[in-house]
């Protein structure tokens, strides 16, 4: 009896009140994979196994990824486009190569794309049964909602920066900050910095477009994995039932 109670199974053996909530993507993926193993072996799990706190935990995982991705997009995408437009150097080279330009652009978008690929690749084969599907949908749907909000906020931000980075506004800003900047830069350097800030204005609208396109692609990646992986998981479950795998 004691040995049986001490054994840990693949499903939340600690009980509803003692379960630790998945705070990272790795923990959430591992937990869903455990549930998927049970489903594939022919044991249907009740949908109410995913309690409200669990559902919120999966939602937090999806939202957290988008928040981090949004911050990286906000800085990385304009910088990447600036490098591609020869508006700013990379690795100290004012005339970056094609590789450098591609690398600079990837800095701003790789996190979100990589996150989506990781979710799709690891959870696509788990998209089976009511419990696993609900857990995955909690993560994926929270990513969709958060990405919509991210696109709206970044579009507003980039359009705002486009309106702000005019020669008049930049010059006024430098005049206000000049008492503080005078000790760290010369007059010539101040003029060059103002010219650079004004030149970055032209990448703001394209940055909003890039964020929208990359976000759409990012959300499509897991969906494709779920469709393909769900079919393969259903076939695996059918074979396990046919040959009575246990």
Dump pLDDT digits (tens) for 145-155: 999 999 999 99
Alpha-carbon span 203 to 157, nearest angstrom = 13
pTM for the structure as a whole? 0.80
Q: Is 50 exceeded by the pLDDT of residue 75?
A: yes
pLDDT band at residue 212 using 50, 70 and 90 as cut-offs = very high
Determine contact, residues 29/57, Cβ cutoff 8 Å: no
Q: Which of 32, 183, 41 is closest to 118 using CA atoms?
A: 32
Determine contact, residues 200/87, Cβ cutoff 8 Å: yes
pLDDT band at residue 72 using 50, 70 and 90 as cut-offs = very high
């Amino acid at each position: 009896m004691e040995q049986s109670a001490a054994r840990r199974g693949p499903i939340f053996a600690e009980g509803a009140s003692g379960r630790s909530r998945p705070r990272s993507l790795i923990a959430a993926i591992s937990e869903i994979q455990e549930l998927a193993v049970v489903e594939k072996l022919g044991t249907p799990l009740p949908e109410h196994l995913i309690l409200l706190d669990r559902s919120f935990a999966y939602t937090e995982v999806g939202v957290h990824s988008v928040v981090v991705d949004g911050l990286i997009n906000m800085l990385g995408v304009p910088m990447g486009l600036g490098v591609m437009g020869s508006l700013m150097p990379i690795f100290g080279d004012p005339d970056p190569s094609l590789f450098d330009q591609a690398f600079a652009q990837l800095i701003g978008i790789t996190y979100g794309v990589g996150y989506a690929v990781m979710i799709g690749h690891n959870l696509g084969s788990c998209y089976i049964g009511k419990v696993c599907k609900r857990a995955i949908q909690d993560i994926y749907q929270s990513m969709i909602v958060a990405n919509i909000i991210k696109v709206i906020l970044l579009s507003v931000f980039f359009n705002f920066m486009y309106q702000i980075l005019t020669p008049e506004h930049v010059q006024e800003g430098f005049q206000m900050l000049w008492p503080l900047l005078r000790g760290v830069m010369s007059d010539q350097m101040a003029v060059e910095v103002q010219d650079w800030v004004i030149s970055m204005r032209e990448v703001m609208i394209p940055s909003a477009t890039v964020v929208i396109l990359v976000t759409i692609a990012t959300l499509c990646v897991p969906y494709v994995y779920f469709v393909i992986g769900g079919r393969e998981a259903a076939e695996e479950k059918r074979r396990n039932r046919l040959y009575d795998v246990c």
